[in-house]
Structure 1
C-alpha cells in the first residue's frame, strides 16, 4: 500500500525554488563548509600527534641510534610503541563523546574510526615488544625469550608492561564482530573497559627513571600533557557530563503506553526540558534506575521533540534489555546523557529532506520531521514495514506531514528479492528517485535494520547522491 499526501499514484513534479528555500540552501552550505573545516582540523591534529611522537624521539637522541643493527632494531621497536600508544590515546579521545568530535563527524563515524584503529594499535604494540626483545637480546647475547625472562626478573615494572600488552590483546579480540555477537552487550562493554587498565599499566615502564621519557626531555612533557588531556576529556564527558545532566533535568517516568506491535512509548517529565529542543533524531543514553534495570544503558532517540515539560522515547521489544522496559513503572528515576550523533538538523546540507524509516527506526524520524527546516513540498517521508501494525507512530507522522506540507508514502509488504531489496516485492522495479523527484537536492536520513538501511543508502548513491547527503542511524554495536 502507498499513501501520499500530495500524489497518490504518480511522483510529484520537482518543486520550484522559493526565496526561503534559497536562503536555507545558503545557510546549509555554510554550515556544511564549517563542519568540513572542523573535520580537516581534527584529522590534521590526529596525524600531527603521531608525527610529533616520532619527531620528538628522534630529536631527543633517537636519530643517533640508527648507527648499527642492534641499536636500530631497538629504535624501531621504540618508534612502533610510540605510534601504537598514540593511536590508543586517539581512540580514547574518539570514544570520549567530546562535543567537538561528535558535532563534526558524528558518534557512529567516530566509533567506526575508533574500531579501525584497534588492530593497527595492537600490531604496533606487539611490534614494539618483539623488536625490543630482539634488540636488547642482541646487546645481551640472549635469544628473545631469554631476554624477556631477564627483563621480567631484572626490571621491577616490566611485568606490568607485559600485563598491559595482554590486556590490549583481550580488548581487540573481544571487539571482533564474530566474537562480540556471542555475548551480551554488557559483557563486551565491561571487557572493553580494560582499555583504560591497559593504558594505566603501560605508564610505569614508560616514565620510570632511565627509560625513554626520563626527566629533561621534551617528549616527556609532550606525553604527560597528552595523557592529561585524554584523562580530562574522559572525566569531563564520560563521567561528569552524564551526572550533571541527570541532576539538572531530574527525569522520571510518568507513563508507559502501547505504541503498536511489541512497542511502547515511555513518557518522562523533568526540569528545563526546553533545553533539549531540537535534539530530535540524535540519541541519548538512558539508564532506568530500578532493580534489574539500572545496570543496562540504552541508546534511544527521542520520538517527539520536548514539549510542555515532557520527553518521549519509543521502544520495541528486541531483546532481554529492551524487553524489561515494556513494564517499567511510573515514578522510576532515569539517568541520561547526550544528545549524541549527527542524525539531526546539524548534518543537513541541502534544502530538500527525505526521511526513510523501517520498523522502530521510524520513530526518530517523527522527531526530526517535527522541527526540520523545509518549505512545503520539499520533504518526503517514506515508512517501510512488513505489516501495518509495525508502522509505528504512523498517525502522528501523517498529521505532521499534512500540517507541514510533506509527502508521505507507506510501503508495506515482504521485502523484494530482486531489484531494490529495501522495497516491498510488488514495487521491486522502482527506486528512491521514483518517490523523490528532487532527490539530488535533498539530504536523506535512513533509520532501520542495518541490511535494509544499507540497501536504501546504496539506492541513493546510485542516484548520484554524495556521502555528505546521506545520514544513517545504526542499530548494531
Structure 2
C-alpha cells in the first residue's frame, strides 16, 4: 500500500465560515423537514377531507366500515402516487433541498406501499359491497366491473404492478437503463388510467366539493410539474446553450475504457452549475439521441466549456467513445447537492473509488478551504494508477490539500486487504473527519460500507454527502 501525501498546514483559529456553513446547513435541513411535513400532511388532508365529507358516519355497520377503509386506502395510495410524481419531476425546490439521489430513493421506496394500498383498496371494497348487498363475491365483482371507468382503473393497476416489479433490485439489474426508463414511463400512464374512476364512481367527488377540487389541483399540479421540469425546461435549456461535442479524449490505459468528453456552448455560466453536480445528457447522434446518461462534471464548468469523464460499462456508454465532434448535446440539470451547497463544516474529506473520482475532482477544484482543511482519499487498483489522478494531485498540491491513494484489491470492507490488516480506517486516514464534511462517491456496496464506518466514528447525517446514479 502506498500513500501520496502533500504538505498540509493546520490553521486552528476560529472561522467565520464555519458559522455561515452551519447556518446554511441548518436552513437546508429546515427545508427538508418542511417538505417531509408537507408530504405527510397531504396524506392527512386526504383522509380528513373524506371523513369531514360524511365518511366519519360510514362506520355504522361492518359492510360500510370495510367500504370506508377501502376508500381511505385508495385515497392514500393516490396521494402517495402523486407525491412520487413530484419527487421524480425534478422540481428545483426539492432538488436543492434534498438532492436528486435522496428524492429518487424515496420515490422508489414508496412503490411497494402504494401497491399494497391499491390491493387493499380493491379487496376491502369488494368485501364491503358484498356484505352490504348480500350477494356472493363473484356476482359482486361482476357488478363492480361494470361501473364506469373500472376497466380503465384495472389497466392502471396492472401498469403500476409492472413498474414496481421492474424496479425491484433483482429485476432492475437485468435490464438496460434505457429499457427500465422506458418501462418506468408507464407510471404516468398508470396514474392517468386510474384517476378517472375516482371522479365517476359514486358521489365521493361531487361537483363543487372540496375533495374534488383538492384532487384536481393536486393531480393537475403534479403532471404540470412533470411537463415543465422534465420536458419544457430541458428543451429550452438545450436550445439556449447550443451545446456541441468538442473532443473525446481517452483517459488512462485503453483497456480501461475511460474517456473525457469536452463540450462547448454559449453562456454556460448561466447554468449555475458547480463542481460535484451532474447533468442528464443526450447526444443527438444516430442511435444515441434516445439514450439519457446521468454523468457528473469532471471539471468545474467554464463560460463556454463543460467536461465529463465516462467509463464504458455497457453498450450505451461504450458508444459515446465514438461520438463525433460537432454532435449536438441536449442536457437536463444541473442536479444534485454533492457540492458546496451541502457544506456544514470548514474541513472537507473527499473519498472516491473508480470512476467516482469524477465529481470528487470537480468538487475539489471549486470547494472553498484553507491549506490543511481538505483531505482526498482515492481507492485505486495499483500504486500510482487511477483515473484523473494526475489532475487531482496537481489540484491538491496547488491548493494545500492532502491526497492519499489507497491501492490494492478490495478487502471485506471499503479498504484494501493490506490496509485492513494494518488496522487502518477512516479515522486513521482522516484524523479530523469527525469535524469534516464527508463526500463519498464510488460503487454502491463500497460506498455503503464507508458511510456505515463514518456513522460509527461519530459523523452526523448532515455531514455525510453521497449520491448514486442507479435509481
TM-score under structure 2 length normalisation: 0.95
Instruction: Tell me whether 1:159 sits opposite 2:148 in the alignment.
Output: no
Deviation at 1:211, TM superposition (A): 3.3
Matching residue of 2:222:
230
Instruction: Tell me whether 1:119 sits opposite 2:108 in the alignment.
Output: no
Give the whole-Å Cα distance in 1 for the aligned partners of 2:281 and 2:27: 31
Of 385-394 and 47-56, the range deviating more from structure 2: 385-394
Deviation at 1:142, TM superposition (A): 2.3
SS in 2 for 1:307: coil
1:148 alignment partner, one of 132, 141, 163: 141
Q: In the alignment, is the contact (CA less than 8 A) between 1:449 and 1:475 conserved in 2?
A: no
Give the whole-Å Cα distance in 1 for the aligned partners of 2:393 and 2:65: 69
Matching residue of 2:92:
99
Q: In the alignment, is the contact (CA less than 8 A) between 2:267 and 2:303 conserved in 1?
A: no
Matching residue of 1:357:
352
Deviation at 1:416, TM superposition (A): 2.6
Q: In the alignment, is the contact (CA less than 8 A) between 1:277 and 1:306 conserved in 2?
A: no
Q: In the alignment, is the contact (CA less than 8 A) between 2:273 and 2:334 conserved in 1?
A: no
Instruction: Tell me whether 1:295 sits opposite 2:290 in the alignment.
Output: yes
Instruction: Tell me whether 1:202 sits opposite 2:203 in the alignment.
Output: no
Q: Aligned residue pairs: how many?
A: 465
Deviation at 1:436, TM superposition (A): 1.6
SS in 2 for 1:85: helix
Give the whole-Å Cα distance in 2 for the aligned partners of 1:113 and 1:209: 31
Matching residue of 2:29:
36
2:233 alignment partner, one of 241, 266, 276: 241
Consecutive unaligned residues of structure 2, counting only runs of 5 or more, are none
Q: In the alignment, is the contact (CA less than 8 A) between 1:376 and 1:406 conserved in 2?
A: yes
Matching residue of 1:380:
375
Matching residue of 1:9:
none
1:89 alignment partner, one of 66, 82, 106: 82
Residues 228-276 of structure 1 deviation map (CA, whole Å, 9 limit, x = unaligned): 2102211111111111111111100011111113210000000111224
Deviation at 1:140, TM superposition (A): 2.5
Residues 257-297 of structure 1 deviation map (CA, whole Å, 9 limit, x = unaligned): 11113210000000111224552111100000001111111
Matching residue of 1:404:
399
Deviation at 1:125, TM superposition (A): 1.2
Matching residue of 1:448:
442
SS in 2 for 1:93: helix
Give the whole-Å Cα distance in 2 for the aligned partners of 1:162 and 1:78: 16
Matching residue of 2:307:
312
Alignment of 1:58-69 (within 5 A): 58-69=51-62
Instruction: Tell me whether 1:220 sits opposite 2:212 in the alignment.
Output: yes
SS in 1 for 2:295: strand
Give the whole-Å Cα distance in 1 for the aligned partners of 2:86 and 2:385: 38
Deviation at 1:471, TM superposition (A): 1.0
2:456 alignment partner, one of 435, 438, 462: 462
Deviation at 1:59, TM superposition (A): 0.9
TM-score under structure 1 length normalisation: 0.94
Matching residue of 1:4:
5
Give the whole-Å Cα distance in 1 for the aligned partners of 2:174 and 2:273: 37
Deviation at 1:302, TM superposition (A): 0.5
Give the whole-Å Cα distance in 2 for the aligned partners of 1:93 and 1:170: 20
Matching residue of 1:47:
40
Supply the RMSD in Å over aligned alpha carbons: 1.5
Alignment of 1:22-33 (within 5 A): 22-33=15-26
Q: In the alignment, is the contact (CA less than 8 A) between 2:373 and 2:401 conserved in 1?
A: yes
Q: In the alignment, is the contact (CA less than 8 A) between 1:277 and 1:305 conserved in 2?
A: no
SS in 1 for 2:110: helix
Residues 23-73 of structure 1 deviation map (CA, whole Å, 9 limit, x = unaligned): 110111110111111111111111111111111111111111111112111
Give the whole-Å Cα distance in 2 for the aligned partners of 1:318 and 1:81: 41
Matching residue of 1:474:
468
Deviation at 1:209, TM superposition (A): 6.8
Instruction: Tell me whether 1:423 sits opposite 2:421 in the alignment.
Output: no
Q: In the alignment, is the contact (CA less than 8 A) between 1:276 and 1:306 conserved in 2?
A: no
Give the whole-Å Cα distance in 2 for the aligned partners of 1:265 and 1:94: 31
